[in-house]
Chains A and B, each alone.
Chain A
Amino acid sequence: MAAEQGRLSATHVLEYPYRRSVGPIMGQFFTGLRDRRIAGVRTGDGSVVVPPVEYDPVTGAAVSELVDVGPLGVVTTWAWVTTPRPKHPLTRPFAWALIKLDGADTGMLHAVDVGSAEKMKTGLRVKPRWRDERVGDIRDIACFEPEGS
């Protein structure tokens, strides 16, 4: 323990190796990511929710119809990270964004690697940059990048 002017302090590390079962709906989504496909789920009013939820957000009814969306999408809002934190998806400055993929009615959160804040805007069309080794995890998409890249 460190003692400083009588004060005593100690560090404590809390670690849990959680492994979370994903169920049939999210399971299909993550399996799709591994195959470089992004899917949403069609809800009762016909809208497509991405990433998929197991139950209709409005009625609570179980949903089951998965629909492929994207791969391109549009940024609906964004925020520029000047100094990434250690656990952030990128180590250089990047944008967080809600991205509404083509065919989806809701945005999904991810990072956008676009170089500088000046190049970032609401309405920017982006596409996923896939990781070479994919396991069925949201990070199989390393980040999104502008459509033309």
Chain B
Amino acid sequence: MSESTKPVTAIKAPVHLEFSYTAGRASTRFLHGMAEGKILGQRCPECGKVYVPPRGSCTICAVPTEAEVEVTGKGTVTTFCIVRIPSDSLSIDPPFTCAHILLDGADLPFFALIQECPFDEVRMGMRVEAVWVPKEELGPTFESIKYFRPIDEPDAAFESYKEHL
């Protein structure tokens, strides 16, 4: 016997799908590098651009990138944003700053967290370095790098990163 006499206006239609991804050749190399405390990129044989993290292809030349290049964890903030919106999925409390970081020797910036710096002092051109997890915690994951922190170097000149904005 149904309890409700109100007309039905909706149905529950939940979706649940499970996937198993493999990392792909370029990402696999990169992630194994992470496990060894190294940052690996790939260079395009045609235009010479270095992709960190590598994707296996040069997005401009549409050719495979295979030549491996190791870069240090030092780089420049090319742009940044201050996160203020709280969310259950955040592991740190806002406000905090994330930035695009162009590692020395790479041609593509990537997105990372900035810490050990007041959130409102992050600036374009700021020089930073990667802070890794303790050696015994290194693994094939981007999370081997905890975050980036400022280093004691003068800000990079705008000319040096203006093509990478």
Contact = CB atoms under 8 A, between A and B. Distances in A.
Interface in B25-63: 27-28, 31-32
B1 to A, nearest CB: 9
Nearest to B14: A17
A22 B21 contact: no
Given A8-B23, A11-B20, A13-B17, 12 more contacts: A1-B140, A3-B140, A10-B21, A10-B23, A11-B18, A13-B18, A13-B19, A14-B16, A14-B17, A15-B14, A22-B9, A27-B7
Contacts of B15: 14-16, 18
Interface residues of B, number: 26
A136 B22 contact: no
Interface residues of A, number: 29
Contacts, number: 85
A20 B13 CA distance: 7
A34 B139 contact: no
A21 B22 CA distance: 37
Contact of B12 (A1, A14, A19): A19
Contacts of B140: 1, 3, 8
B2 interface: yes
A12 B20 CA distance: 6
A121 interface: no
A19 B17 contact: no
